[in-house]
Chain A
């Protein structure tokens, strides 16, 4: 069964450093998303991406964040200058269409020290 994959599973970085989180969505899906979950809190939407552009973003997704689909399979989230409060699980998700069910990857645990 097709699934969303994410790398790395765990990333430790120092405050101020740039990180890139990678995702491979399900192959025939057209919509891609990033969510995050701070420890003990609920899953929060960051950004949705369709047709090579951002379709929606939350207040969390400020200028420090960017997304890219560099090729036909990968979808990346970049945080330019990490802060302590960026420490969280980051989940990639994809869906076949915009209002269809979303399938999540296993997540990347980002720890900013």
Chain B
């Protein structure tokens, strides 16, 4: 099974800061990597698919990059509405694997 290592587990930054979350796969998942935002009591919201494609309606301050085993989600200018937990997900294999999540807080 593919393992997804996501870091950091918690991140505290100021409004306007650039924020980066990293996800590393134990084997290549090619471009089949998604990023989700989840707020308490809500379903995960798709932000990025195929590693770098922005889902319709998602603000352009969210950017995904990477391929193979190393991936990054960048928020170019952190906003109060971005407080949430973020998950990476590989969907290259039949059994999807998720990172453990990164909780993003405002300092």
Do A and B interact with each other, yes or no?
A: no
